[in-house]
Amino acid sequence: MTRLDPDRDSAPWWAAVDRGELLLQRCASCGVPRFPARALCNRCRSRETAWVPARGTGRVYSWIVNHQRFLPDLPVPYAVVCVRLDEGEDILMYGNLVDAAPEALAPGLPVRAVLRDGLVQWTPA
């Protein structure tokens, strides 16, 4: 599938993905990492922020294996994972499981990010 239009908060994040970099925002005031991108820290409400590299590692929180052909050009089955990043329990990213079969999926499975074709995918670490 193709990407959707970024919004004005997310455009720098997607631009970094295109360069092969996985970024997070970090509040310049309280230091808490945050995702997805936005202008205000929802903990300390500071507007000061910086982009920092993400470690690109996390653990599988939940997943689905999709069988229904919702779109004609999308081959099935495929797995979608929801990953809790190692930077913080509250940072969730979605992506496909790549270079592994869905049978490998288990709660808490360590995974690492694979930046491919302008998307962030996940594979067992």
Partner 1 sequence: MFSKNSGVSTLTLAMEAILTALDDAGLSLDDVDGLATHRVGDSTPPWVVAPALGLDGVSWYLDQFGGGSVSHSVVGQAAMAVASGVAGTVVVYRAINARSEFRMGGTGRGAAPVFDAQYQAPYGYFAPPQQFAMYARAHMNAYGTTHEQLGAIAVRQRAYAVKNARALKRDPITLDDYLASRWIAEPFRLLDCCLETDGACALVITSAERARDLAQPPVLISGAAWGGGDSFFSGVPTDFTVTEAARMAPRLYAMAGVGPEDIDVAELYDCFTYSVLVQLEDYGFCPKGEGGPFVESGEGPPVNTHGGFLSEGYVHGVNHVAEAVAQLRGTAGDRQVAGARVALSTAQPGYVLAGTSALILRGER
Locate 78 and state its tokens.
């495929």
- Strands in 33-34's sheet, in edge-to-edge order, are 33-34, 23-27, 49-53
Task: Return d(Cα 64, Cα 62) in angstroms, integer.
Answer: 7
Our CB check for partner 1 shows the closer of 100 and 119 to be 119
Instruction: Provide the b/e sequence for 12-37 (b: ≥16 CB within 10 Å).
Output: ebbebbeeeebbbbbbeeeebebbeb
Task: Return d(Cα 29, Cα 45) in angstroms, integer.
Answer: 9
Question: From the CB of 124, what's the least distance to partner 1, in Å?
Answer: 17
Interface with partner 1 (CB under 8 A), residue from 15, 18, 28, 38: 38
Interface with partner 1 (CB under 8 A), residue from 19, 20, 68, 72: 68
70 binds partner 1 (CB under 8 A): yes
89 binds partner 1 (CB under 8 A): yes
57 binds partner 1 (CB under 8 A): no
Which residues of this protein are in contact with partner 1, per CB under 8 A?
A: 1-10, 14, 32-36, 38-43, 45, 61-68, 70-71, 74, 77-78, 80, 82, 84, 88-96, 107, 119, 121
